Structure 1
Amino acid sequence: MTDAARPAAEATKPAARRDAPAKTRPTPIVPPANVAGRALMTVIGIMTFLASLTLGAVTLISDTASVWESQISREVTVQVRPDDGLDMAAALDTVRKVALGIPGVASAEAMTDDATSRLLEPWLGEGLDLDELPVPRLVLIGIDERAPPDFAALRARIVAAVPQASLDDHRAWVSRLVAMANATVVVGVAILLLVVVATVLTVVFATRGAMSGNRHIVEVLHFVGARPAFIAGEFERHFLKLGLYGALAGGVCAVLVFLGMGLWTRSNQATPEADQISALFGSFAIGWTGYVGVLLTVAAVGGITAVTSRLTVTRQLAAIDMLSPVES
């Protein structure tokens, strides 16, 4: 190419670019971001947070109830009440020896002074002198789960050896706790169902609002031949994104709450408050089943949001067809 022809060729390039067709993205039926969408995402995040907390609490309480039921068959307690002229150390040792002589008893150990003081610390404070207080002392008896002893015979032998002693197998107390835990699980499941219903209703109203705001576009597309599945798919994809983003934020917040509670419990194990919480709920660890449950909750909320919006749009389009029949 000569030097004279080069400027002419360069001059034709901008014109060629202007003549080339520009590639544009199709305009979505539903605006990708608006105030209503952000509000819906926030509501879904709150709903998912509450649902995840409820699911984690139900998992935690259910696991704790199973541990309580298992402890019934693993350990019983003998309480020795103080009495005038009673040698507490000798009485505790007698109870321990009698218990070990009963078939089905795996172990027997008197609770130490430090352990007893720590047990009473939330109510009586620190620095207790057990020799100056009429405090009952405990002997912890381990039970062979495969061949438990005859508790009536065990109680009779211990009382005969030490009249101030009494056997407590914790069955009545633990059975009440287990019943309360099962009732809590039922309440938790009911709360989960209410959260799901509230989420569905919220998505229905949000979808109807989005269709009302874009009614002219939806009607034009519908009457020129756009299939209902296409229009419903546009809304479904839009609300699926909102649902997943909101649900993911709520699920992450719930996981952080459980991790924070577990960290606080582990870092405060020496305090009476943490000991009481650990005795009731363990270490607040929901385990891998709880975390999988939170993940499934996030996915379920996203799916419910998408399916609900699709069904709502389909029903609305059917209503438009009924109100505006096409004349042949």
Structure 2
Amino acid sequence: MSYLACLAIGALILVDRAVTNWTSGLSREMTVQVRIIRDTDIAQEVEKAYRILAEFPGILEAEVLDETAGARLLEPWLGTRSLEGLPVPRLIRVVTDTKSPPDIPALERALSAVRGARLDTHQKWEAELTRMARALSVLSYAILLLISVSAIAIVVFATRAVLQANRHIVDLLHLVGARDSYIARQIDGRFLRTGLLSGFIGVGLGLTTFLLLGVFGGASESGFAAASLGLLFSAPSIAVWSYGFLFAVPLAATLICLITARITLMRRLGVIT
């Protein structure tokens, strides 16, 4: 259970970082598409759009992409042969000033002077990424809750088994006048050691899993392998939070063991008495 909890926490951290990086990139950039229209000089229209963007307040950089940029974006879906003869729009990459962003309605009005121009602010994709991140976060929290409930059930059955196996000792202690709280304290130490040991073993296995995913998960710099390594080897200001959440698992496992075992013991000892 501790191992699965570490995996869920690690996945939650990776999803949060990935969505933060993606949305920050989308919020800084926009794209202008200039469609090819009959009886229109596309190069002249692209140049006109570029001049408008370069002089517009709140825009730090405007870059006209080459003619094959749009085709490369469509290749994964349409292939290369299907693009032959299609009027693929020209693209202009725009970097905005996040401290003083441009007036989007005014920019759209200015670009209306360019035939075939359309401004894409990426807000739709940013909203979709945020929605996906929330769904994955809710799923991760649900998994953590399910793991916690399963751990509580395991401790309850383990406590009953320990108490049943030592029934004769419990009867003897009751006979000599021992209170239920005294008997429960004698068993608490066992569950304390079990919680700490299982928690640290789970953390160790979880860190090893993310390390193996990072080493053998592929060479892509932006894939899951790189993200897994980033979880383990990141800046100290970031790593302290990542490792803090992961090493909270042994503490949580110990508290679950102690509290659940104590409640179960007191109830069962009351029944035995």
TM bucket (normalised to shorter chain) is 0.7 to 0.9
* Residues 62-84 of structure 1: CA deviation (Å, up to 9, x unaligned): 33333444345311111223445
Shift of 1:53: 1.7
| Contact 2:32/2:118 (8 A) holds in 1 | yes
Spell out the pairing of 1:1-328 with structure 2 (5 A cutoff): 47-84=1-38, 89-112=43-66, 119-120=73-74, 122-123=76-77, 134-161=87-114, 163-263=115-215, 267-269=219-221, 277=223, 283-284=227-228, 285-286=230-231, 287-288=238-239, 289-321=241-273
- Pairs aligned (count): 265
Q: d(CA) in 2 for partners of 1:310 and 1:258?
A: 35
Q: Equivalent residue of 2:112, what SS?
A: helix
Q: d(CA) in 1 for partners of 2:89 and 2:99?
A: 30
> Which residue type is aligned with residue 195 of structure 1?
I
| Contact 2:23/2:129 (8 A) holds in 1 | no
Cα pair distance change 1:248/1:93, threshold 3 Å: farther
| Contact 1:105/1:143 (8 A) holds in 2 | yes
| Contact 1:113/1:130 (8 A) holds in 2 | no
| Contact 1:251/1:294 (8 A) holds in 2 | yes
Q: Which has the larger radius of gyration?
A: 1
> Which residue type is aligned with residue 146 of structure 1?
K
State the percentage of identical aligned residues: 37
Q: Which runs of 5+ in 2 are unaligned?
A: 232-237
> Which residue type is aligned with residue 218 of structure 1?
V
Cα pair distance change 1:202/1:94, threshold 3 Å: same
Equivalent residue number for residue 20 of structure 1: none
| Contact 2:188/2:262 (8 A) holds in 1 | yes
> Which residue type is aligned with residue 108 of structure 2?
R
| Contact 1:82/1:134 (8 A) holds in 2 | yes
| Contact 1:68/1:178 (8 A) holds in 2 | no
Q: d(CA) in 1 for partners of 2:5 and 2:186?
A: 28
> Which residue type is aligned with residue 227 of structure 2?
S
Q: d(CA) in 2 for partners of 1:220 and 1:197?
A: 33
Cα pair distance change 1:112/1:231, threshold 3 Å: farther
| Contact 2:30/2:96 (8 A) holds in 1 | yes
> Which residue type is aligned with residue 111 of structure 2?
I
Q: Equivalent residue of 1:140, what SS?
A: strand
Shift of 1:233: 2.5
Cα pair distance change 1:64/1:268, threshold 3 Å: closer
Q: d(CA) in 2 for partners of 1:253 and 1:116?
A: 44
| Contact 1:236/1:307 (8 A) holds in 2 | no
Shift of 1:61: 2.3
* Residues 221-280 of structure 1: CA deviation (Å, up to 9, x unaligned): 2322334344223322212222222222222222233333444567223xxxxx5x57xx
Q: Which runs of 5+ in 1 are unaligned?
A: 1-46, 270-274, 322-328
Shift of 1:102: 0.7
Equivalent residue number for residue 235 of structure 2: none
RMSD of aligned alpha carbons:
3.0
Cα pair distance change 1:292/1:62, threshold 3 Å: same
Shift of 1:171: 1.0
TM-score by length of 2: 0.82
> Which residue type is aligned with residue 24 of structure 2?
S
